[in-house]
């Protein structure tokens, strides 16, 4: 399944394979590196309860609003959970770094030269209206997503030369000559299969509240735009007994209620209005679920006598933390100077925030792939230097002989000391402070910018942002916080109409083509892309190309570290913090199986 926050995939490896013809092998699963964990006769994933009982309702909270059931383009805000309506060709495993098993596609075939991939569809696969899934549906899905879907699809599919029906129930994707994109077969495995007879002739680029037709485990049931949406389990779901689905999708109904305010939402959870909350706020985790008092909204919910038991669950995972931080838009003139971007790092006092706001809960983020073996550390090694030396003209000199370090405040090094370091960096870069204490660039232009926040998350971020902007004022920088509603915020992100935002670059255990979407030059001016910083460097593009061509896990780690180093020394982000676990507050109504390496799979939970 393609996600905003992060998609990554593969190189082929096979278990229990059978020859089709010379050089072409057929298999039940494909893996980025190594071999799939499960053979072709596996019964279910290890982390599920294969005897899970179907039934009950899962109620969750969403924020803001929604105005479309089409999650495949950039117009509008899609309803939460709509992805449950659609099946993909293959299904990813939560217990492996990057492996996919058959779903709509029963088997996969690929030649030794990796010039194409061919999927044989499961003859039982059908849409919710009873019509069988055909090769024509797969071809239609690929073409309409590539041509009219979100820009992410055209970016990911650019190395596909053509897609054809290659036999009864078979679809072949032929790759462009010279393509060395090892991830591409797995990316195609994540293709959501859409019914041609339902979407053909419709404006695919428009928002719509017409209930979508899919082939997945759920279908849209009831909804009221912006207030709630419910999904009902498809009782005769064609794939319910496939190994990838055994023990999953156990709820008869899934409901999302929309809240405009995080405080109201928290009280709603404590009153039993919904079932679980992924808690990202340390203060709430430390205090909100332990209060004896029922909160100021008790009378509103009128459930004082029957407030449910809430469990605070901590779930370990092996995923990289990604990079959360204040992201600077280098399309804006104010942020085109790398030294200014570097200086801004010294104005953020993480240690104060962690102690004063977060109960010392977090670790400082020092890499785009922190909390994993993919993070760069120390000085560049021999292979990295060999690559970096080719790009001396566009890279800063410190990347060659310095270790990337985030500023620290402590008894020996105060925020005042760090601001003095920032002043020296700015002075050396040609910035001056006038008689009124205003920082000006070499052209005499005052340094000023806005930090853009959405109205839902603003209460959380303002308490972090205000001390940061106050420190910037001490440097002579006029930094203001601007809050807009969720719809306007998303529109401005799509158009890159902002100076600075708070963003999380989510990362996986197997980084790949999504890096192009995050940091590639082509994505810089691609409306709706996630290259929010406006990164456009040949060194970054070529480092991403190496990541995509990695043939072994060792090569992938080496190349991701190289990419990480270049991004860090570009100073596109003022790094925040991360937590190496997932915190979920949930009502005591679930049976929860074991947690896989990628973290929580809520679809494997069941109601007691």
**What distance in Å separates the CA atoms of residue 471 and residue 574, rounded to the nearest whole number?**
14
Q: Give CA separation, 68 vs 209, 220, 261, 585, in Å.
A: 5, 12, 21, 29
The yes-or-no verdict on residue 7 having pLDDT over 60 is no
pLDDT at 14: 35
Task: Give the tens place of pLDDT for each residue, 119-145.
Answer: 999 999 999 999 999 999 999 999 999
Q: What is the pTM of this model?
A: 0.80
**What distance in Å separates the CA atoms of residue 45 and residue 48, rounded to the nearest whole number?**
6
Domain 323-426+503-579 class, CATH top level: alpha beta
* Mean pLDDT along residues 384-400: 96
Task: Give the tens place of pLDDT for each residue, 370-387.
Answer: 999 999 999 999 999 999
The yes-or-no verdict on residue 291 having pLDDT over 80 is no
Phi, psi (rounded to 5 degrees) for 435: -65, -20
Break the chain into its structural domains and give their ranges.
18-216, 261-316+580-608, 323-426+503-579
H or E element in which residue 548 lies = helix 538-549
The yes-or-no verdict on residue 43 having pLDDT over 60 is yes
Task: Give the tens place of pLDDT for each residue, 109-125.
Answer: 999 888 999 999 999 99
Under a CB-based contact definition with an 8 Å cutoff, are residues 135 and 165 in contact?
yes
CATH of 18-216, one of 3.90.1150.10, 3.30.70.120, 3.40.190.10, 3.30.70.890: 3.40.190.10
pLDDT at 13: 37
One DSSP character per residue, 479-510 reads EEEEEE-HHHHHHHHHTT--SEEEEEE---SS
């Amino acid at each position: 399944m393609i996600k905003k926050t992060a998609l990554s995939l593969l190189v082929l490896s096979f278990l229990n394979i059978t020859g089709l013809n010379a050089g072409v092998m057929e298999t039940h699963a494909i893996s980025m590196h190594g071999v799939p964990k499960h053979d072709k006769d596996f019964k279910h994933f290890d982390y599920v309860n294969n005897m899970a009982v179907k039934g009950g309702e899962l109620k969750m909270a969403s924020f803001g609003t929604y105005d479309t059931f089409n999650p495949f383009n950039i117009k509008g805000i899609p309803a939460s959970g709509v992805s449950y309506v659609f099946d993909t060709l293959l299904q990813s495993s939560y217990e492996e770094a990057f492996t996919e098993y058959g779903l709509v596609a029963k088997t996969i075939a690929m030649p030794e030269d990796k010039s194409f991939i061919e999927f044989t569809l499961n003859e039982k696969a059908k849409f919710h209206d009873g019509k069988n899934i055909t090769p024509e549906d797969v071809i239609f899905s690929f073409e309409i997503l590539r041509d009219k879907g979100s820009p992410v699809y055209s970016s990911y599919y650019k190395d596909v030369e053509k897609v054809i029906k290659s036999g009864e129930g078979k679809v072949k994707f032929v790759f462009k000559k010279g393509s060395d994109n090892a991830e591409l077969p797995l990316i195609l495995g994540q293709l959501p299969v859409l019914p041609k007879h339902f979407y053909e002739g419709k404006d695919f680029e428009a928002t719509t509240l017409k209930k979508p037709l899919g082939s997945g485990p759920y279908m849209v049931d009831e909804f009221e735009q912006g207030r709630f949406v419910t999904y009902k389990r498809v009782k005769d779901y064609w794939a319910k007994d496939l190994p990838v689905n055994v023990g999953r999708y156990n709820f008869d109904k899934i409901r999302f209620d929309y809240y405009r305010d995080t405080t109201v939402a928290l009280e709603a959870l404590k009153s039993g209005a919904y079932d679980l909350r992924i808690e990202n706020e340390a203060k709430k985790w430390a205090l909100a679920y332990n209060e004896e008092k029922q909160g100021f909204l008790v009378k509103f919910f009128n459930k004082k006598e029957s407030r449910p038991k809430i469990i605070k669950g901590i779930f370990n995972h092996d995923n990289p933390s990604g990079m959360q931080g204040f992201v600077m838009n280098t399309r804006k003139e104010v942020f085109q100077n790398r030294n200014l971007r570097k200086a801004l790092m010294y104005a953020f006092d993480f240690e104060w925030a962690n102690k004063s706001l977060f109960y010392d809960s977090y670790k400082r983020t020092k890499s785009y792939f922190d909390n994993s073996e993919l993070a760069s550390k120390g000085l560049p090694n021999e292979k990295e230097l060999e690559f970096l030396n080719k790009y001396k003209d566009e890279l800063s000199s410190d990347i060659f002989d310095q270790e990337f370090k985030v500023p620290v405040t402590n008894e020996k090094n105060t925020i005042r000391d760090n601001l003095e370091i920032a002043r020296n960096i700015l002075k050396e870069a040609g910035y001056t402070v006038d008689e009124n204490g205003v920082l000006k660039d070499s052209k005499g232009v005052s340094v000023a910018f806005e930090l853009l926040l959405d109205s839902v998350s603003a209460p959380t971020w303002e308490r972090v942002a205000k001390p940061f902007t106050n420190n910037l004022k001490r440097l002579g920088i006029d930094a203001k916080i601007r809050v807009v509603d969720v719809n306007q915020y998303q529109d401005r992100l799509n158009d890159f109409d902002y100076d600075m935002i708070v963003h999380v670059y989510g990362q996986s255990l197997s980084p790949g083509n999504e890096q192009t979407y995050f940091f590639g030059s082509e994505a810089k001016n691609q409306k709706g892309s996630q290259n929010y910083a406006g990164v456009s460097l040949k060194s970054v593009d070529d480092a991403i190309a190496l990541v995509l061509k990695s043939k072994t896990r060792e090569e992938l780690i080496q190349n991701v570290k190289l990419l990480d180093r270049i991004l860090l020394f570009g100073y596109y982000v003022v790094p925040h913090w991360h937590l190496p676990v997932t915190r979920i507050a949930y009502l005591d109504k679930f049976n929860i199986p074991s947690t896989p390496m990628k973290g929580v799979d809520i679809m494997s939970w069941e109601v007691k």
